[in-house]
Amino acid sequence: MAGLELIPLFTVPILRIQMPEHERCAAELRELFLDCESRGAEFRNAIRRDTQKGALFESRFDLFNWTQPAVRHVAEFCHASLSATLAQISNHSEADVAGLQFDYHSWFHVTRKGGFQGRHNHPNASWSGIFCVDPGEESPDLPESGAVLFHDTRENADYYSDAGSEELHTPYAVGPIGIKHREGRLWLFPSYLYHEIFPYWGERPRIVIAFNCWIRRKEAPHA
């Protein structure tokens, strides 16, 4: 219609990035993380989150500081992906982004049969990410096994539904959105976004890397 202008306000940026030639890196990470899981308290995060249920191992939050080549490779990939995202969707230029300081908390999860994580977000950070090392096994009878559900940020959007709202397409659709992990795939999203992980029912462990990032301008050097 002439004069109609669509203004997409309040859109949540969620990025999906595939690591090229990820197979070797994923295989090395899988072996490393399963070995760390087997060593228990040496690598386990001392704090058990109340959203974490069942057979879910969470490591310490220093993963991106590790020196193993596969860890360095995925850390650099995640950082490059987040830097490119900021340059694309913000008023920062690439040069601006290069001058910012990125601080990370990073860890891995090994989820075994029956493990899941309840609804949560990541306060005190601006961006979060999940990188899939091994999605585990598909469960044809349980298609939501291990899925990540992102919750709609618009608190009252689904209080009423009729033919005028039920058929809206993305990014205007109302309600939560579920995604499935794939090996070598990174999801980036704002840390305020509530999400949960459905119970995983596969026999092979499901392994992911997660991180939070806060970004600040570097202080100018003193004269």
Q: Is pLDDT above 90 for 157?
A: no
Rounded distance between C-alpha atoms, residue 193 and residue 191, angstroms: 5
Q: What is the pLDDT of residues 173-196, one digit of tens each?
A: 888 899 999 999 999 999 999 999
What are the pLDDT digits (tens) for 79-100? 999 999 999 999 988 888 988 9
**Helices of type H across 90-177:** 94-98
Is residue 31 helix, strand or coil? Answer: helix
At 138-154, the pLDDT tens digits run 888 888 999 999 999 98
The reported pTM is 0.92
Residue with tokens 């618009």: 154
The domain locations on the chain are 16-154+173-217
Cα 202 from Cα 199, distance rounded (Å): 10
How do residues 101-138 score in pLDDT, each as one tens digit? 999 999 999 999 999 999 999 998 999 999 999 999 98
Is 16-154+173-217 in CATH node 3.30.470.10? no
- Round to whole Å and give the CA distance between 101 and 43: 27
Please name the helix (run of DSSP H) or strand (run of DSSP E) that holds residue 126, with its range, or none: none
Instruction: Measure the CA–CA gap between 93 and 99, rounded to whole angstroms.
Output: 10
* C-alpha distances out from residue 34 to 38, 174, 197, Å: 6, 39, 20
**Averaged pLDDT score across all residues of the chain:** 92
AA identity, residue 204: R
Residue whose C-alpha is closest to residue 36's, from 45, 44, 28, 25: 44
